[in-house]
């Protein structure tokens, strides 16, 4: 189970340890500014960052097609004509001309798998 407090405590301890080491090196060994900069760049910059993915919610049809095909196996690849048919048949899912990958990909895959092979080629 994920414990956010434990991760925060671990991060806090790492920061305290690095700051203490920086103070020791500043007071004793590192008289050279170049050595201080090298030490800072190597040791003080966090080795991991929590970066949230910012995904554009509003894609064009071509961008949706590209992203869907990138994420899908060969048997679930789409074409512009399939996307156009999907839009016509599932018009209630669309408000504008936006193709949200989060909102539409799962319904599109379900719709695509329900089609027969003949209907996919038309």
pLDDT digits (tens, 9 = 90+) for 63-110: 999 999 998 999 899 999 999 999 999 999 998 888 988 899 999 999
pTM above the 0.95 mark? no
Give the C-alpha separation, 71 to 40, whole Å.
40
DSSP per-residue string spanning the chain: ---HHHHHHHHHHHHHHHHHHHHHHHHTT--SHHHHHHHIIIIIS-S---------S---HHHHHHHHHHHS-GGG---HHHHHHHHHHTGGG-SSS---HHHHHHHHHHHHHHS-HHHHH-
Question: What is the model's pLDDT at position 110?
Answer: 95
Tokens in use for 107? Answer: 């319904």
Mean pLDDT of the chain: 74
- Summarize pLDDT for 28-67 with one digit per residue, the tens: 555 566 656 666 555 555 555 554 554 667 889 999 999 9
Report d(CA 91, CA 74) in Å as an integer: 26
pLDDT at 13: 58
Integer angstrom CA distances of residue 10 from 16, 49, 69: 10, 14, 40
What does the domain layout of the chain look like in residue ranges? 4-44, 61-121
Distance separating alpha carbons of residues 70 and 55, to the nearest angstrom: 15
Residue 7 has pLDDT above 80, yes or no: no
């Amino acid at each position: 189970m994920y414990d956010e407090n434990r991760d925060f405590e671990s991060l806090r301890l790492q920061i305290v340890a690095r700051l203490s080491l920086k103070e020791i090196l500043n007071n004793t060994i590192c008289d050279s500014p170049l050595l201080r900069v090298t030490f800072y760049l190597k040791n003080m910059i966090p080795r991991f960052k929590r970066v949230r993915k910012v995904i554009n919610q509003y894609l064009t049809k071509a961008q949706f097609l590209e992203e869907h095909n990138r994420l899908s196996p060969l048997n679930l690849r789409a074409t512009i004509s399939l996307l156009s048919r999907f839009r016509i048949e599932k018009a209630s899912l669309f408000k504008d001309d936006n193709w949200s990958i989060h909102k539409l990909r799962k319904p599109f895959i379900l719709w695509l798998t329900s089609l027969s092979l003949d209907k996919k080629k038309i």
